[in-house]
Structure 1
Amino acid sequence: MPSQQKALILRSKQGEFALEDIPVPAPGPHQILVKVEAAALNPLDWKIQAFGVMRETYPAILGFDGAGVVEAVGAEVQDLVKGDRILFQGGHDNNSSTFQQYVLLPAGVSAKVFPSTVTYDEAASIPVGLSAAALGLFSHYAPSGSAKLYPPWEEGGRGKYVNQPIVILGGASSVGHYGTPVVSSIQLAELAGFSPIITTASPRNADLLKSLGATHVLDRSLTADALGVEVAKITSQPFEVVFDAVGLPATQNSAFDILAQEGQLVTVRQDAVGEAKKAVHPGKRVIQVYGSLAVPYHHKAAASLCAALSSLLEEGAIKPMRVEVLPGGLAGIVSGLERLKDNQVSAAKLVVRPHETR
């Protein structure tokens, strides 16, 4: 194993990215060292650079989605061994961020072995979107930050919400912070028994989303009033939960409008529903997702999800996203982030292979 590695460094707040050589770290007693075979890009990565949010210490390494192989384990690690193929959510600090060739991770909820039927590129498309959807909807242990529905991956959870409708706004775009959690939320909603599962998207992505479990795909360009009319044509049942995977003020307010009087709007961004509207409907709740497996109040749900994930992937209950591999390893990230910034990516995850960096 080399002593040095390539990393994409953000030198200063709102600064420029640069490729640099940095040391390969050694794992502590409860850590694992992972060779990053694939890292996926998220809209949050360009927003950190553009707006100077989330990171206060620089130089900084970004990147939240990864997959790779365990290279070394700490003395106290028991559930992972050298050679294990894992997918993981990184980005908690520079050591765990995925825009580098090797990462250090806590040997707990941030990693999970995945089956050989899933490629490293595909595996890297899963962690952040899945965690945003799973924790936002099904973290029933959490005191806040979730709708607290019962998880479909736990005993007794499959089909628990049979014949209850759900709306998932966001289609397959990469507008929100977390890329495309709508893909995972559709699959989890189907596993939980929700029906109908109504989502919004560009019409070109309708077949893809139906293949993942959506029963109805409405045009994402519908106005708030038109959306209300269309969902009323599909079902007269009240919507107790709406998941907004985009989180813009327009989508949040549209979602709030179609909620049942005691319903929950789960959104991936800060609450932007009008105060006057809330005053008229005091029973409706707006919940902002913080889709990090490392947050202490999500630890129980995260551990539960990670324990079930390999078998869910094996049976196809959770499917990876379509991926586009960018050339040049870490050097391909900057242009990829520009595409995300310009909303030029739909129904796919952009992925790089750090060890292809020259």
Structure 2
Amino acid sequence: MKAVALTRYLPIDDPQSLTDVELPAPVAGGHDLLVRVEAISVNPVDTKVRSPKPQVEAQPRVLGYDAAGTVEAVGEQVTRFKVGDTVYYSGDITRPGSNSELQLVDERIVGAAPASLDAAQAAALPLTAITAWELLFQRMPFDSENGGRGKTLLVVAGAGGVGSIAIQIAKRAGFEVVATASRPQSVEWCRKMGADHVIDHRQPLGPQLKTLGIEQVDAALNLADTDRYWDELGELLAPQGHVGLIVEPAGALKIGDPYKLKCIGIHWEMMFARPRFGTADMIEQGRILDRVAQLIDAGELQGTHSETLGRIDATTLREAHRRLESGATIGKLVLAGW
């Protein structure tokens, strides 16, 4: 089968950083689906895993943590899907990824793809949808249907992949959503996703919130730079508020006052935790994806796909990595077809 892989961890401008390869087709067993991949999306985790380091792989390593496709075969323990079903998923970071024509993935972390979206549009959603949903509704104590009524949520980096879906599910849950963005295009995108207000994260956040009549926020999702906004969010969060984090801090964080003084809940989200550790509730990820697909098809959520760069090959995938590393992407970049 065709795949895009690496054996060395190199700068993305090096043609050997990602290469086209031929690999043996895997065989489904147990809870695994064998999926024929039709479209993939790229995420910051792809660039982080691929980032330069001296390690050398003995066999080609396939990355990729967002896909949509069709079930080609099923393992003997599979109950949720059958051959021919269209599915979407993020996968398991400890296993070969989705940058290949065929991929094995545990059925429990797979969802039925939205019927109203094509493969490219569906592939843009899984990792970010799971991340936002788990963080807001499972790590934080908010109900997905009405847990935001009367509350204000600040979303730092609202135009990114996670921010794009977090804005939508928060609005649906009843939050007043303030997103941050720094360019006219990203401001417009946040408003398109449903943000009530958009402020500039290059400037101090507090004065901008006060201009909106917001003295404090009940919850904040810091989806960009944990260290940079840590002190400021500690001041902006209400007593007994909540902060959600997804980015590893560069240095030590001061988790005492004002966080301790206010009893602010600190919540980490790593969407690969359930599949990586085989948790008893890993089927929750399949259920989240099923629910997101239902909401997409009902018109209550919209897709976050911003551009299809081309077909799935090493040249196009390197370009996708370059764009992500620029820090200027909006929504989700997708590759489709072989």
- TM-score, normalised with respect to structure 1: 0.83
Matched residue type, 1:188: I
Spell out the pairing of 1:46-65 with structure 2 (5 A cutoff).
46-52=47-53, 59-65=60-66
| Structure 2 unaligned blocks of 5 or more | 11-15
Partner residue, 1:305: 288
2: distance between equivalents of 1:215 and 1:270? Answer: 28
Partner residue, 1:131: 130
Matched, 1:112 2:105: no
Is the alpha carbon distance of 1:92 and 1:306 closer, same or farther for their aligned partners in structure 2, counting shifts above 3 Å? Answer: same
* 8 Å contact kept, 1:66–1:87: yes
Pick from 168, 174, 195 the counterpart of residue 214 of structure 1. 195
Is the alpha carbon distance of 1:16 and 1:212 closer, same or farther for their aligned partners in structure 2, counting shifts above 3 Å? Answer: closer
Matched residue type, 2:65: F
Partner residue, 1:267: 245
Partner residue, 1:177: none
Matched residue type, 1:302: Q
* 8 Å contact kept, 1:200–1:219: yes
* 8 Å contact kept, 1:271–1:288: no
2: distance between equivalents of 1:31 and 1:80? Answer: 10
* 8 Å contact kept, 1:256–1:273: no
* 8 Å contact kept, 1:29–1:75: yes
Partner residue, 1:234: 212
2: distance between equivalents of 1:297 and 1:232? Answer: 44
Spell out the pairing of 1:108-257 with structure 2 (5 A cutoff).
108=108, 110-139=109-138, 146-150=139-143, 152=144, 158-173=145-160, 180-195=161-176, 197-201=177-181, 202-223=183-204, 227-236=205-214, 238-257=216-235
Matched, 1:85 2:86: yes
| Superposed displacement of residue 267, structure 1 | 1.3
Q: CA RMSD, aligned part only?
A: 2.6
Is the alpha carbon distance of 1:243 and 1:217 closer, same or farther for their aligned partners in structure 2, counting shifts above 3 Å? Answer: same
| Superposed displacement of residue 148, structure 1 | 3.2
2: distance between equivalents of 1:53 and 1:242? Answer: 37
Aligned length: 326
- TM-score, normalised with respect to structure 2: 0.87
- Per-residue displacement from partner, 1:189-229 (whole Å, max 9, x unpaired)? 1111112x101012323333223221001123212xxx101
Partner residue, 2:313: 330
2: distance between equivalents of 1:77 and 1:300? Answer: 12
| Superposed displacement of residue 57, structure 1 | 8.0
* 8 Å contact kept, 1:12–1:58: no
| Superposed displacement of residue 38, structure 1 | 0.3
Is the alpha carbon distance of 1:286 and 1:336 closer, same or farther for their aligned partners in structure 2, counting shifts above 3 Å? Answer: same
| Superposed displacement of residue 273, structure 1 | 8.2
| Superposed displacement of residue 232, structure 1 | 2.3
Matched residue type, 1:133: A
* 8 Å contact kept, 1:253–1:273: no
Deviates most, 18-27 or 52-61: 52-61
Matched residue type, 2:62: I
| Superposed displacement of residue 308, structure 1 | 1.8
- Percent identical among aligned pairs is 22
Partner residue, 2:6: 10
2: distance between equivalents of 1:186 and 1:112? Answer: 21
2: distance between equivalents of 1:57 and 1:257? Answer: 49
Structure with the larger strand share: 2
* 8 Å contact kept, 2:78–2:107: yes
Matched residue type, 2:118: T
| Structure 1 unaligned blocks of 5 or more | 140-145, 153-157, 174-179
Is the alpha carbon distance of 1:16 and 1:187 closer, same or farther for their aligned partners in structure 2, counting shifts above 3 Å? Answer: same
Matched residue type, 2:6: L
| Superposed displacement of residue 315, structure 1 | 0.9
* 8 Å contact kept, 2:167–2:193: yes
Matched residue type, 1:6: K
